[in-house]
């Protein structure tokens, strides 16, 4: 007898239901609901006349839109009393308006606050989620709390980080404006509180005119809160402080939190565990390290049963528990040797060695080819820096074997390489190379998609990302204009193409001379 995984079966059934859908009018809000139908003619004035609007950009034939339609209508009816408006824009009828907002898929939900500038809706597409999310959007981005008991209650049981602004008697209004501006932008991620409570002023502020900023994190004691200690308070500095300090000392990393850690650019230290007891055994030691290196290294736990395959991306074997640090800036990985079982006592020492620059990175690389007999240079991790630092213009394509765009580029790229390779002078000045980024580590550049192409000029200046068309002519012009050797591959190509014509012309002339 065969069995099927229930969750897989549920997903399949859900997809089938969306695909099948119902009539196209299921995506369109009921005429009796509070949902407002907008067109290009009515959109601008409606948005400006209403302080808070959730707009759905949709297509009537879209299965997901049909699923959302009734829920969207029901939410709209319940939000009327809160003066929150829900609206629909049919992108099959209002193509230009949808294009103006970069709509690429359906449904797309955007939040408007009295202007045509918008932010993405980040909640779930369920009636209650829409109501909850938009209700929160309608509240002030900053809660002003003065009572000591109310403040204690706010910090007692946190579900998300809280950023507290403490205003001394002679605070500068500009700092307050900065705080409110940040709160408007980050309100979906954190809670913001402002107070002039004398007890908090005495505890956290050191200057009569300078506000204090404190971050409280879920699951931590209030005495472990982080106090901003910078001399300059501006939006960028305060945002950076919040980005660092809202991370838990030893947090769980998942699909929902991964991107925020990547964006921080701080080295990320992973502890992979496949048993809860392993995590508990190392927790105190890692929290102690996290406190010491707060703002320098982020520490996270990763459940190997769910995310164990990520170990390969960090150049580690899938043998758990393990500890590894990913230097995001240089894309280097540093791991405790897996030749023997992990000794938890080695973790603090290893982190100290990493900070002191004494740890050695684990380099993932294909073997260095014994022969380079192709026009395109086969680059690997071990020799990447050596090759791109030559006194030549070096164009490198970072690709993935499975990438369709890379496969389509290959013939053009090989033809381009041959132009330089087959000309003795150009061959001494230009290298066309490619590297399988999935099998080789590279440092100093950020690869976010394939193919990614960089030019490393011969004069040693900063590598230049190529963003143009993937044609031979465009690539050749890029190398000539942005490189430092000035080689004109198209001129070489045209000269070679003209050679047979010159020979034929000479033969014809010689024949005519003999005739005479």
Cβ(489)–Cβ(479) below 8 Å? yes
Alpha-carbon distance of 210 to 86, in angstroms, equals 41
User: Of 109, 225, 216, 97, nearest to 163 (Cα)?
Assistant: 216
Encoding tokens for residue 442?
A: 């590279």
Alpha-carbon distance of 167 to 201, in angstroms, equals 7
Helix, strand, coil in percent for the chain, rounding step 5? 45, 15, 40
Q: What is the mean pLDDT of the chain?
A: 88
Q: Residue 391 — φ and ψ, nearest 5°?
A: -85, 50
**Per-residue pLDDT tens over the stretch 298-329:** 999 999 999 999 999 899 999 999 999 999 98
Q: Which of 214, 406, 435, 476 is catalytic?
A: 406
Alpha-carbon distance of 373 to 402, in angstroms, equals 24
Residue 505 has pLDDT above 50, yes or no: no
Q: Which of 27, 29, 62, 238 is catalytic?
A: 62
Is residue 65 part of the annotated active site? The answer reads: yes
Give residue 127's pLDDT.
94
Give residue 5's pLDDT.
36
Tell me which CATH code domain 142-245 carries: 3.40.30.10
**Per-residue pLDDT tens over the stretch 9-44:** 333 333 433 444 455 578 999 889 999 999 999 999
Tokens 């910078």, located at residue: 230
User: Of 100, 446, 106, 411, nearest to 262 (Cα)?
Assistant: 446
**Per-residue pLDDT tens over the stretch 58-117:** 999 999 999 999 999 999 999 999 999 999 999 999 999 999 999 989 999 999 998 877
Other Cβ atoms less than 10 A from the Cβ of 504: the count is 10
Tell me which CATH code domain 251-355 carries: 3.40.30.10
Cβ(398)–Cβ(387) below 8 Å? no
What 3-state class would DSSP assign to 134? helix
Residue 7 has pLDDT above 50, yes or no: no
Give residue 387's pLDDT.
95
Cβ(389)–Cβ(460) below 8 Å? yes
Give residue 435's pLDDT.
97
Instruction: Show the beta-strand stretches assigned E in 53-147.
Output: 53-58, 85-90, 108-112, 118-120, 142-144
- Look at 123 and 412; give whichever has higher pLDDT: 412
Q: How confident is the model at residue 500 (pLDDT cuts 50, 70, 90)?
A: low
Residue 486 has pLDDT above 60, yes or no: yes
Q: How far is CA 100 from the centre of its chain?
A: 23
Q: Which of 328, 403, 445, 492 is catalytic?
A: 403
What are the CB-based long-range contacts (under 8 Å, 24+) for 304-309? 304/272, 304/273, 304/274, 305/274, 307/253, 307/254, 307/272, 308/272, 308/274
Encoding tokens for residue 365?
A: 């690389």
Tell me which CATH code domain 377-494 carries: 3.40.30.10
Alpha-carbon distance of 276 to 286, in angstroms, equals 15
Residue 514, classified by CB atoms within 10 Å of its CB into exposed (0-12), middle (13-18) or buried (19+), is exposed
Region of poorest pLDDT, from 60-69, 226-235, 408-417, 470-479: 226-235
Q: Which of 28, 47, 65, 489 is catalytic?
A: 65
Helix orientation angle between 404-421 and 489-515, rounded to the nearest 10 degrees: 50
Segment 286-292 mean pLDDT: 95
- Does the domain at 6-138 match CATH 1.10.10.10? Answer given as no
**Per-residue pLDDT tens over the stretch 254-282:** 877 888 898 888 999 999 999 999 999 99
Is residue 98 part of the annotated active site? The answer reads: no
Cβ(214)–Cβ(226) below 8 Å? yes
- CA distances to 393, 394, 397 from 377, rounded to whole Å, are 13, 10, 10
Where along the chain do its domains lie?
6-138, 142-245, 251-355, 377-494
Give residue 501's pLDDT.
54
DSSP-derived letter for residue 445 is S
User: Of 317, 410, 304, nearest to 362 (Cα)?
Assistant: 317
What 3-state class would DSSP assign to 374? coil
Q: How far is CA 376 from the centre of its chain?
A: 31
**Cα angle at 93 between 87 and 96, to 5 degrees?**
90
Determine the length of the chain: 516
Give residue 116's pLDDT.
77
Encoding tokens for residue 420?
A: 């330089």
**Percent of the chain scoring above 70 in pLDDT:** 92
Q: How confident is the model at residue 200 (pLDDT cuts 50, 70, 90)?
A: very high
**Per-residue pLDDT tens over the stretch 421-438:** 999 999 999 999 999 999
Is residue 91 part of the annotated active site? The answer reads: no
């Amino acid at each position: 007898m065969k069995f099927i995984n229930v969750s897989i079966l549920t997903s399949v059934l859900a997809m089938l239901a969306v695909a099948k859908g119902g009539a196209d009018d299921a995506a369109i809000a009921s005429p009796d609901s509070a949902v407002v139908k907008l067109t290009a003619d009515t959109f601008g004035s409606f948005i400006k006349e209403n302080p808070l609007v959730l707009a759905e950009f949709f297509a009537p034939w879209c299965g997901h839109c049909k699923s959302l339609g009734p829920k969207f209508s029901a939410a709209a009816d319940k939000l009327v009393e809160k003066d929150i408006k829900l609206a629909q824009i049919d992108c099959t009828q209002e193509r230009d308006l949808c294009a103006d907002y970069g709509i690429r898929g359906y449904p797309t939900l955007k939040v408007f606050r009295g202007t045509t500038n918008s932010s993405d809706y980040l909640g779930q597409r369920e009636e209650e989620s829409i109501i909850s999310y938009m209700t929160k959007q309608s509240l002030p981005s900053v809660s002003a709390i003065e009572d000591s008991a109310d403040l204690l209650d706010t910090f007692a049981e946190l579900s998300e980080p809280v950023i507290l602004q403490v205003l001394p008697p002679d605070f500068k209004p500009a700092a307050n404006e900065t705080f409110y501006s940040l709160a408007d932008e980050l309100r979906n991620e954190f809670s913001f509180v402002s107070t002039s409570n004398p007890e908090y002023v005495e505890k956290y502020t050191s200057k009569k005119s300078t506000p204090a900023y404190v971050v409280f994190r879920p699951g931590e004691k209030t005495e472990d809160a982080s106090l901003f200690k910078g001399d300059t308070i501006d939006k960028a500095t305060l945002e950076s402080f919040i980005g660092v300090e809202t991370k838990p000392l030893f947090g769980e990393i998942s699909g929902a939190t991964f991107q925020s850690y990547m964006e921080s650019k701080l080295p990320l230290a992973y502890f992979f565990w496949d048993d809860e007891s392993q995590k508990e055994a190392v927790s105190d030691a890692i929290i102690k390290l996290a406190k010491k290196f707060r703002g320098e290294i982020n520490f996270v736990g990763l459940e190997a049963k769910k995310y164990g395959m990520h170990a390969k991306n960090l150049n580690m074997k899938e043998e758990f528990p393990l500890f590894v640090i990913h230097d995001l800036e240089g894309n280097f990985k540093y791991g405790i040797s897996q030749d023997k079982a992990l000794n938890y006592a080695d973790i603090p020492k290893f982190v100290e060695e990493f900070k002191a620059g004494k740890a050695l990175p684990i380099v993932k690389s294909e073997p260095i080819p014994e022969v380079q007999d192709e026009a395109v240079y086969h680059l690997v991790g071990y020799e990447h820096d050596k090759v791109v630092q030559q006194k030549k213009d070096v164009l490198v394509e970072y690709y993935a074997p499975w990438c369709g765009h890379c496969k389509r580029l290959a013939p053009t790229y090989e033809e381009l390489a041959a132009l330089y390779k087959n000309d003795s002078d150009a061959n001494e000045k230009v290298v066309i190379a490619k590297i399988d980024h999935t099998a080789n580590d590279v440092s100093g550049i950020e690869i976010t998609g394939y193919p990614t192409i960089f030019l490393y000029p011969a004069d040693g200046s900063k590598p230049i990302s190529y963003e143009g068309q993937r044609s031979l002519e465009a690539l050749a012009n890029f190398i000539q204009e942005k490189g430092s050797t000035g080689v004109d591959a198209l001129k070489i190509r045209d000269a070679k193409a003209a050679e047979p014509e010159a020979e034929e012309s000479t033969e014809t002339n010689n024949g005519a001379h003999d005739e005479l």
